[in-house]
Amino acid sequence: MALLEIKNFSFNYPQSPQPALKEINARVGKGDFIGITGPTGAGKSTLTCCLNGIIPHFQAGKYQGTINLQGASIFDRSTAQLSRLVGSVFQDPEAQIISAEVEQELAFGPENLGFPPAEIKKRIGDALELVGIPELRDRPTVSLSGGEKQRVAIAAALAMLPEILVLDEPTSELDPAGTDEIFRVLNLLNKKQGITVIIVEQKTEQLAAYADRLLVLNEGRIVIDAEPWQVFSRRRELEEIGVKIPQVTRLAGMLGGNDSYTLPLTVEQGYIFIERILRR
Amino acid sequence: MTPKVQIKVEKLTYQYGSGQPALKNISFEISKGESIAIIGQNGAGKTTLAKHFNGLHKPSFGKVYVDNSDTGTMKVSELARKVGFVFQNPDHQIFNDTVGKEVAFGLKNLGLPKQEIEERTATALEAVGLTDHCRAYPFNLSKGQRQRVALASVLAMKTETIVLDEPTTGQDFRESVQIMDMVRKLNECGHTIVFITHDMSLVARYARRVLVLCRGEILVDGDVRSVFAGPELLQKTYLCPPQITNLAQRLGRHSIPPDVLSVRELYELLLKARGEKIGCCS
């Protein structure tokens, strides 16, 4: 059984003539690292809102089809139930962080679920440790940098011990070092803790390096669902949709690369590929 | 003839409140017609520096001159005719209830005749691809579209210098390229362009000169090729050149230079390197 299964799912915002999502089909297994990319307005954020219960609990609309999480429909569950299963991190951490101090921010979710103080303390400590920011525990949230705020938002989601972490462009305001930091943390959570990661991202170089699978959305549909090298081998299609191909992958494509061995996804792989070509 | 100096920064120090200075004793000049990128980590002082160009910040110590006038003695409204500013967050900028009014607002303040206002508004909206949204309520648009509304209102002012603070954040790939292509066109028409970004491939593609800020100081100031060719210096401030430059720098023993800026450039160098190899073996 897939952890998450989306079947023929469509969604219409009220008063919108066009559906935002059209007949979406996708399966996510436990421990997957899934990247979602595509142009603005493609439906990426709408899709994430369907996974964490914002749709239909806070955002009305018409939907068809099913989204099952651990075998049961997401829409039959309360937001409280969903919050234990799906952790959410949004694009703008300032819109997410509500507490004056980091510790309070992390305590908010578990407190609302009624856990005893000792359990909450432990969860806060563990979550901060996992994200690599134990030293921020007593800091006022206003004093944090953008990257720190983003990691606090991830830690707060983790304090709920979710099965799935859903992130909507969590690095858009971050510098390159901050972006790499977030992806390294996500990779660690995924590989070491087995947390399933679903991340919407425009930075395809990072998606190429870390995701097991990519979904490319365009005009409300999933137009490609494949491994990164397969996705980035479809050069013309991606150019038409407006998805950036990582520079090393594009270079290898121009030099005749066309399979998982000859389409590098990182600088390291690109280096090996070029060395091989030049040795021939 | 040396080109006219558009912006001159002289021993600029800036302090928010009483804390550590955000900018420390910075000096440089920007000439008319330049296209310059300002890069650096979050918190390096990029936006703080840029806000000195339109007078939103005045130096705590030192001077900033725009068009030979000291910004310390100029009103923000005077500077607005010389320096256009596109903010990182368009919602800090947009306040009118239609896109058309937003773009026309600055022009009305200049006291231009009605017909010219209409013409300039239409041209600017066309340039950013929002002609059809002239009557739309700005806050019903996507963030990428709102960013372009902000850009259009600056375009319409036809200022000599245009400053863009992370103009492509929140934009998808195609929108980013569209915006930057437009900025390049303005530069080719003689406008001086200053842009702040975290996207090194945009720097490689669109800037000629790059200023690297690190904790309120200028770490490097040079042409894009030479700055990206020395990655050790960039690493100091946790930046790294574009992926393709990075790859080229690992291929030095094949006589690939360290200052490659585009995929096309490396592709052609590699074809040549491979050709020579085949030539010498056969």
Q: Which pLDDT tens digit goes with each residue over B257-267?
A: 999 999 999 99
Distance CA B104, CA B91 (A): 17
Chain A residues whose beta carbon lies within 8 Å of the beta carbon of residue B201: 247
Q: Which two tokens stand for residue B252?
A: 């030095």
B254 and B227 share a domain?
A: no
A248/B contact by beta carbon, under 8 A = yes
Residue in B171, B172, B244 nearest the CB of A251: B244
pLDDT at B282: 37
Beta bridge partners of residue B38, listed in sequence order: B196, B211
B12 and B62 share a domain?
A: yes
B127 and B267 share a domain?
A: no
B101 and B132 share a domain?
A: yes
Delimit the domains of chain A by residue range: 4-245
Q: How far is B102 from chain A (nearest CA, A)?
A: 23
Q: What is the 3-state secondary structure (H, E, C) of chain B?
A: CCCCEEEEEEEEEEECCCCCEEEEEEEEEEECCCEEEEECCCCCCHHHHHCCCCCCCCCCEEEEEECCEEHHHCCHHHHHCCEEEECCCHHHCCCCCCHHHHHHHHHHHCCCCHHHHHHHHHHHHHHCCCHHHCCCCHHHCCHHHHHHHHHHHHHHHCCCEEEEECCCCCCCHHHHHHHHHHHHHHHHCCCEEEEECCCHHHHHHHCCEEEEEECCEEEEEEEHHHHHHCHHHHHCCCCCCCHHHHHHHCCHHHCCCCCCCCHHHHHHHHHHHHHHHHHHHC
Is 3.40.605.10 the CATH number for A4-245?
no
CATH of the domain at B17: 3.40.50.300
Per-residue confidence band for B178, with pLDDT thresholds at 50, 70 and 90: confident
pLDDT at A4: 96
pLDDT (tens digit per residue) in B197-220: 999 999 999 999 999 999 999 999
Give how many domains chain B has, as a whole number: 2
Per-residue confidence band for B125, with pLDDT thresholds at 50, 70 and 90: very high
Mean pLDDT score of chain B: 90
Chain B residues whose beta carbon lies within 8 Å of the beta carbon of residue A43: none
Pick the residue from chain B with its C-alpha nearest to A275. B251
B157 and B246 share a domain?
A: no
Chain A residues whose beta carbon lies within 8 Å of the beta carbon of residue B250: 267, 271
pLDDT at B281 over 60: no
**Phi, psi for B168 (deg, rounded to 5):** -110, 5
Per-residue confidence band for B1, with pLDDT thresholds at 50, 70 and 90: low
The A residues from 172 to 191 touching B (CB cutoff 8 Å) are 172-179
Q: How far is CA B177 from the centre of its chain?
A: 13
Residues B228-237, mean pLDDT to the nearest whole number: 86
pLDDT at B39: 95
Whole-model pTM: value is 0.88
Residues of chain A with pLDDT under 50: none
A202/B contact by beta carbon, under 8 A = yes
| Beta carbons of B200 and A176 less than 8 Å apart | yes
pLDDT (tens digit per residue) in A4-62: 999 999 999 988 888 999 999 999 999 999 999 999 889 999 999 999 888 888 888 99
Contacts A–B by Cβ distance under 8 A: 94
State which residues form the domain around B188.
5-236
| Residue B181 Rama label (left phi>0; alpha psi -120 to 50; beta) | alpha
A244/B contact by beta carbon, under 8 A = yes
B230 and B250 share a domain?
A: no
B65 and B189 share a domain?
A: yes
Residue in A41, A177, A247 nearest the CB of B242: A247
Note the ipTM here. Answer: 0.87
B64 and B158 share a domain?
A: yes
| Beta carbons of B247 and A271 less than 8 Å apart | yes
B138 and B249 share a domain?
A: no
Residue in B42, B144, B238 nearest the CB of A40: B144
pLDDT at B280: 46
Q: How far is A5 from chain B (nearest CA, A)?
A: 27
| Beta carbons of B172 and A178 less than 8 Å apart | no
B147 and B249 share a domain?
A: no
A247/B contact by beta carbon, under 8 A = yes
Which H or E run includes A248?
helix A247-254
B160 and B275 share a domain?
A: no
